[in-house]
Amino acid sequence: MRTIGFVNSHKENERRIALLPEDLDKLSDIASQIVFEKGYASRMGVSDEEYLSRGAKILSREEILNKCDIICDPKAGDAEYLEDLQEGRTIFGWVHPHVCENVKNLLLKKHFEVYAWEEMMEDGMQVFYRNNELAGEAAVNHGCQCCGILPEGKKAAVIGRGNTAQGAIRALVRGGAYVTVYGRKNEEKLRKDIGQYDIIVNAVLWDPKRTDHIISRKELRQAKQQALLVDVSCDEHGAVETSRPTDYAQPTFVEEGVIHYCVDHTPSIYYREASKFISSQVKRFIRPLVTGETDEVLESGCVIRNGEMILEESCR
């Protein structure tokens, strides 16, 4: 059997964790193969003892990265340790090799086996769908707060119809906004209507092969002055030409008179809610990862193996 190590992400303001102690209860027979970084869940008020009492182990971050066969990290694709990690390890988390060429090349070079959460599907739905919904909800709520406005009475446009868009729509409707949704086939209409809206939300995963934009700089000039643009996907120069990722220290900037909110990991705002859902899903895949048992859902997320891309195009 292999060992799986759980480490905290060092990404700025990232508080989500992948496994809560209570979700170890049905894994007692393989608990000794499960290792957590010291203080793993301390941000949530959970002590190491709660993991130890269920048969898991606690080690330092360095020991886990050096010794464990499998590394589970929700933000694995942004991890600072990938370059130094021993070749042939297994990575389990959000990785996004189809979006970031540099990450993909590194993962291939290191011959990692990579299971990407964003690609895992079951019955036609993403396994970690709730995180996308939270991204949309959190981005709208925090974006409005940073802009000093409430959605109430505002006209809002949401680009996209997926899980992230549904979360954004939920937050806007709950806040009393008047919402219009634009799908991929309605991009031209959005460009014509853009001047009507107080809030514009981009919830479209951008195809890096596209060379155009849904909203170009020129088209952005037609938007209302001081309108709020919430770019949940926040792919730099992607769907929105003027977007670039921001952080919690400086979440907004202004381009062409439009306030841009482009924080790229908003579910961490609701880290307890997110961690509870993530843990409920991750626990399902620990046994097949550790024992090597076949699991179709887990395999649906295998994007890289033996230095080759297994999934050439993102299923999203």
pLDDT in tens, 105-164: 999 999 999 999 999 999 999 999 999 999 999 999 999 999 999 999 999 999 999 999
- 259 and 293 part of one domain: no
Q: What is the model's pLDDT at position 144?
A: 98
Query: Is 114 found in the same domain as 20?
Result: yes
Print the domain residue range for 283.
Answer: 4-120+271-309
Considering the entire predicted model, what is its pTM? 0.92
Is residue 136 located within the same domain as residue 81? no
Does residue 294 share a domain with residue 229? no
Evaluate if residue 202 carries a pLDDT over 60: yes
Residue 316 is predicted with a pLDDT of 54
pLDDT of 315 above 60: no
The reply to whether 70 falls in a domain is yes
Beta partners for 34?
Answer: 4
Q: Where residue 61 sits, what CATH number does that domain have? A: 3.40.50.720
Q: Please state the rounded mean pLDDT for residues 300-304.
A: 96
State residue 252's pLDDT score.
98
Residues 250 and 183 in one domain: yes
- pLDDT at residue 313, rounded to an integer: 66
- Average pLDDT over the chain reads 95
Question: In this predicted structure, what is the pLDDT of residue 310?
Answer: 86
For residue 142, tell me if it sits in a domain: yes
| Interaxial angle between packed helices 129-147 and 271-291, expressed in degrees from 0 to 180 and rounded to the nearest 10 | 150
315 in a domain, yes or no? no
CA 206 to each of CA 48, 103, 124, 185, 198: distance values in angstroms, whole numbers, following the listed order: 40, 17, 20, 14, 23
Tally of domains within the chain: 2
Q: What is the CA radius of gyration of the chain?
A: 20
Q: Answer yes or no: do 140 and 256 share one domain.
A: yes
Does some domain include residue 100?
yes
314 in a structural domain: no
Contacting residues for 303 by C-beta, under 8 A, at least 6 apart: 95, 97, 98, 114, 115, 116, 119, 309, 310, 311
Same domain, 145 and 236: yes
Report yes or no on 220 lying in a domain. Answer: yes
- Evaluate whether residue 316 is within a structural domain: no
Co-location of 102 and 172 in the same domain: no
Q: Contact 3/66 with Cβ under 8 angstroms?
A: no
Position 50 in a domain = yes
**Residue 85 to residue 71: CA distance in whole angstroms:** 10
Same structural domain for residues 76 and 100? yes
Do 103 and 69 share a structural domain? yes
Distance in angstroms (rounded) separating the CA atoms of residues 190 and 132: 23
Domain shared by 116 and 136, yes or no: no
Shared-domain flag, residues 111 and 60 = yes
